[in-house]
Amino acid sequence: MDDNNAIAVASDLAQLLMGGRAKVKAIISSHHALFYNVICNEFRKIPHNKYFLYRSDESDTYSLRKTDDTPFFHHVDMLSELKKASESGKLYTHHFNMMRNILEKTSTFFGYKDFSSCITGIEDEVLYARAVNLLSHGKYSLYGTP
């Protein structure tokens, strides 16, 4: 979903949930930071709880943590996860999805036409760009090894 649609869907969903005559309880889950941010802003006038999925470095267990923050630094967490994957040597397709997401946001920020413009200073830039493209959009299982 592109950012314009994320904003529209989040806003419409919030208005739909708040516009009914009866109280509606709903759980909204998203990995899309902009969608989450718009939903939180739309609901700011009504009481609601916000949580994020948390896992400490020392554990394999996930838990829900209450928060009042919005995920402005979601990309920093993705970079941290990519660094851990690189150091461990355990790379999966979802890591390439994260990398492409970061590269696309960076290229948009700098006004580049394509994410591959951010891949510089390495021996075969075209090969790396093709690998990121293939492994993030190919016919691979999202959680399988590339």
Among the listed residues 43, 4, 5, the one whose alpha carbon sits nearest the alpha carbon of residue 27: 43
Q: Residue 86's pLDDT is what?
A: 92
Confidence (pTM): 0.54
Q: What are the start-end ranges of the E strands in 55-129?
A: 63-66
Q: Residue 142's pLDDT is what?
A: 46
One-letter amino acid of 102: I
Among the listed residues 119, 99, 123, the one whose alpha carbon sits nearest the alpha carbon of residue 110: 119
Q: Residue 74's pLDDT is what?
A: 66
- Residue 41 in domain: yes
Alpha carbons 53 and 30: distance in angstroms, whole number: 11
- Residue 90 in domain: yes
SS3 state at 16: helix
- Residue 49 in domain: yes
Q: Phi and psi at residue 140, in whole multiples of 5°?
A: -110, 150
**One pLDDT digit (tens) per residue for the chain, 146 residues:** 677 788 889 899 999 888 877 777 888 888 777 788 788 888 887 888 888 777 777 888 888 888 776 555 667 778 888 999 999 998 888 888 888 888 888 888 788 888 888 898 888 888 888 888 888 765 554 444 55
Q: Residue 83's pLDDT is what?
A: 93
- Residue 145 in domain: no
Q: Phi and psi at residue 126, in whole multiples of 5°?
A: -65, -40
- Residue 143 in domain: no
